[in-house]
Chains A and B, each alone.
Chain A
Amino acid sequence: MDFNNDLIASLKTEIPNGVLAVDSQTDIFTVTLERSHLIQVMAYLKTAVGFSFLTDLCGIHYPDLLSLGVVYHLHDLKNNRRIRLKTFVNQDNPVLDSVTAIFPAANWMERETYDFFGIQFENHPCLRRILNEDDMSYFPMRKEYPLEDASRTDKQDDMFGR
């Protein structure tokens, strides 16, 4: 699509080394970003290109690649275009910049991603757990943890096929 090619070209000129990969075969145009240039690309997309609505922000864990990722979906309401941005960090030291200053809607979504995956967002106004108990010691959505609570006593796992 011409718009997408122009967008990538202008991104590469404005913020060199920001774009790591591009995927135009999925349903929504997907761009993988370098994590240190995340804020610049987000600000550019919001003000200069017009993707002013943050639809979604979620985390994802790839244990085989030892990385945690965050996926952003943006929406340009005036021209009805969507874009998907991804950025990855190492699972042992997951630190990423928070986009709350650019999109206030990201506040709770980043807290949820921290709660589930343990990704630390720098410059977040109030990064603490939101859905789980505050003193939980692990990050439950990571693939190595089971679904059921390890301390429950009333169900026999072999009867339930586990």
Chain B
Amino acid sequence: MSLDKEYLTINLGPTHPATHGVFQNIIQVDGERIVSAEPTIGYIHRAFEKLAEHRPFYQITPITDRLNYCSSPINNIGWHLAVEKLLAVQTPKRVDYMRVIIMELARISDHIICNSILGVDTGAFSGFLYLFKQREFIYEIYEEICGTRLTTNIGRIGGFERDFNDIVFEKLEKFLLSFKEALEEFESLFNRNRIFMDRTIGVGKISSQMALDYGFTGPNLRATGVDYDVRVMSTYASYEDFEFDIPIGTTGDTYDRFMVRNAEMWQSLSIIRQALDKMPIGPYFADVPEFYLPPKQDVYHYMEALIYHFKVVMGEIPVPSGEIYSAVEAGNGELGFYLVSDGGRTPFRLHFRRPCFIYYQAYPKIIEGELLSDAIITLSSLNVIAGELDA
């Protein structure tokens, strides 16, 4: 004779304060322990891939912003790199260094959100307030470069629309100093904090074999011990000129993911410092007149420039046909763009390899047997962004 067990079904619904984004998990619990979980996603499915088939290449950049909206410059620059790979365009060194600075700033801003929200979920609200002040400084730098705070649409195919002016460099220098102090303060609050360590060590463990099987990339994979970083393996935008370490963890639990993201923020600061010190002089755009808008002065005075401006914006430029796969190291892992062009003004097929979508499928396996409150902490530390999940 066996005792009949009855499991309680809980709906960790789409609207929940601790799931940072709209995804649903229907969890079966035995007391406090999770027996099984079934995720449902698609609550902000915006059909990016279908939308991209109807927009010229120049107009796809704003929709790539909205993939991982916490670090949208990385998505923009990833898309520009993909198109430049299709067109076989070589960008000048100055453009590469400017892109590196912007991408590392975006990586810092993505990790700030993940780590400070992990602090809020364990009950410590102050870290969130201290670090969000630093995010306002990053937003000011973006505003100086491209005009907007969050959904940046930064840069152009071939480079940038304007060079960094003195205010940008001044703000970058000030940011490097102030963020260093703020991050040290944040680490002093969390890294050796008894309560935080008790809540996060041993929680949500992933072995490196399981992580590789499930297609993990980015900080979640590096926390398990595998040092796969797209900036090193398939290098782009002159990352080979910079010296940086790849921080890795050992057990792949929540504490390791937190520490890996903190260490990556330190590495990003060092890369920005190196880029500022070694910034080469040169043009800030490549010579691609079919895709790069001509300067506004010329558009108002010369007929050819006006015609090119019209053709670029309306997408009347023939694109070479072919297919490419290009990847960048986004805040959450390998963000890939699989682009198939048939020579028309819009892509024939554009597929985004979104890291969140791929590693979130392992979530039910990770939380099996864990306590319910640990499952919430695991979800925060995996940094699942709903925009990237649903696309």
- Per the CB under 8 Å rule, do A and B touch in the complex? yes
Interface set of A (CB-CB < 8 Å, partner B): 26-28, 52-56, 58, 60-61, 71, 73, 77, 80, 82, 84, 103-105, 107-109, 112, 116, 129-133, 140-141, 147
- Alpha-carbon gap, A55 to B49, bound state (A): 18
Q: A55-B336, A58-B351, A132-B45 are in contact. Are A26 and B357 (CB under 8 A)?
A: no
Indicate whether B47 reaches chain A with its CB closer than 8 angstroms.
yes
Beta-carbon contact of B228 and A147 below 8 Å: no
User: Can you list 21 contacts pairing A with B, beta carbon distance less than 8 Å?
Assistant: A26-B322, A26-B324, A27-B85, A53-B212, A53-B215, A56-B351, A60-B349, A71-B338, A73-B338, A80-B233, A103-B213, A104-B213, A104-B214, A104-B362, A105-B215, A108-B357, A109-B357, A130-B42, A131-B42, A131-B45, A141-B50
Instruction: Judge if B201 is at the interface, Cβ distance under 8 Å.
Output: no
Contact pattern, B 311-345, Cβ under 8 Å of A = 1, otherwise 0? 00000000000111101000000101010100000
User: Contacting B47 at CB < 8 Å: which of A105, A107, A108, A140?
Assistant: A140
Does B84 sit at the interface, judged by CB under 8 A?
Answer: no
Which of B327, B336, B340, B361 has most A Cβ within 10 Å? B361
Nearest A residue to B38 via CB reads: A126
CA distance A103 to B209 in the complex (A): 12
Please tell me if B195 contacts chain A, counting CB pairs below 8 Å.
no
Q: A73-B336, A105-B215 are known; give 12 further A-B pairs, CB within 8 A.
A: A26-B322, A27-B325, A56-B338, A58-B349, A71-B338, A73-B338, A103-B213, A107-B361, A108-B358, A116-B49, A130-B41, A132-B45
Shortest distance from the beta carbon of A140 to any chain B beta carbon, whole Å:
6
**Within the complex, what minimum Cβ distance (angstroms) separates B388 from chain A?**
12
Q: How far is the CB of A26 from chain B (nearest CB, A)?
A: 6
User: What is the CA–CA distance of A37 and B214 in the complex, to the nearest angstrom?
Assistant: 23
B325 near A28: Cβ-Cβ < 8 Å: yes
Contact between chains at A58 and B338 (CB < 8 Å): yes
B45 touches A147 (CB 8 A): no
A116 to B350, CA, bound (A): 13
Q: Which residue from chain B places its CB closest to the CB of A58 in the assembled complex?
A: B351
Q: How far is the CA of A52 from the CA of B215 in the complex (A)?
A: 10
* B95–chain A nearest beta-carbon distance, Å: 21
Interface residues on chain B, size class: 35 or more
When the two chains form their complex, are residues B50 and A140 in contact, meaning their CB atoms are under 8 A apart?
A: yes
Q: How far is the CA of A84 from the CA of B324 in the complex (A)?
A: 10
Cα–Cα, bound, A55→B215 (Å): 7
**Cβ of B54 under 8 Å from chain A:** yes
Q: How far is the CA of A147 from the CA of B42 in the complex (A)?
A: 17
Least distance between B352 CB and chain A CB atoms (Å):
9
A132 to B391, CA, bound (A): 11
B176 within 8 A of A: no
Q: A105 to B361, Cβ gap below 8 A?
A: yes
Inter-chain contact B47/A26, CB cutoff 8 Å: no
Chain B interface (Cβ within 8 Å of chain A)? 41-42, 45, 47, 49-51, 53-54, 85, 212-215, 226, 228, 233-234, 322-325, 327, 334, 336, 338, 340, 349, 351, 353, 357-358, 360-362, 390-391
User: Which residue in B353, B360, B390, B391 is a CB contact (below 8 Å) of A55?
Assistant: B353
Alpha-carbon separation in the docked complex, A53 to B355 (Å): 13
Q: How far is the CB of A15 from chain B (nearest CB, A)?
A: 23
Q: Which of A27, A56, A71, A108 contacts B324 (CB 8 A)?
A: A27
Query: Residue of A at shortest CB range from B55?
Result: A147
Q: Are B325 and A84 in contact (CB under 8 A)?
A: yes
A82–B226 Cα gap in the complex (Å)? Answer: 18
Residues of chain B with a CB closer than 8 A to A108's CB: 357-358, 360-361
B391 partner residues in chain A, CB cutoff 8 A: 131
Selected contact of A56 from candidates B49, B325, B340, B349, CB within 8 Å: B325
Of all chain B residues, the one with the shortest Cβ separation from A107 is B361
| Complex contacts, A27 vs chain B, CB 8 Å | 85, 324-325
- Are the CB atoms of A73 and B325 closer together than 8 Å? yes
Q: Out of B41, B49, B214, B322, which one reaches A105, CB within 8 Å? A: B214
Which B residues are in CB contact (< 8 Å) with A131?
41-42, 45, 390-391
The list of the 7 closest CB pairs from A to B, nearest first, reads A105-B215, A131-B42, A58-B351, A108-B361, A56-B353, A131-B45, A104-B213
Q: Is the CB of A132 within 8 A of B325?
A: no
Chain A's nearest CB lies how many Å from the CB of B347?
11
Chain A residues with Cβ under 8 A from B85's Cβ?
Answer: 27
Compute how far the CA of A153 lies from the CA of B372 in the bound complex, rounded to whole angstroms. Answer: 44
CA of A53 to CA of B205 in the docked complex: distance in angstroms?
A: 20
Q: How far is the CB of B50 from chain A (nearest CB, A)?
A: 5
Inside 8 A of B325's CB, which chain A residues have their CB?
Answer: 27-28, 56, 73, 82, 84
Contacts of A84 in B (CB 8 A): 325
**Chain A residue nearest to B40 in the complex (CB):** A130
Distance, CA A52 to CA B246, complexed state (A): 22
**How many Å lie between the Cα of A56 and that of B336 in the bound state?**
8
Nearest neighbor of A73 in chain B, beta-carbon distance = B325
Residues of chain B with a CB closer than 8 A to A52's CB: 212
Q: Chain B residues with Cβ under 8 A from A73's Cβ? A: 325, 336, 338, 353
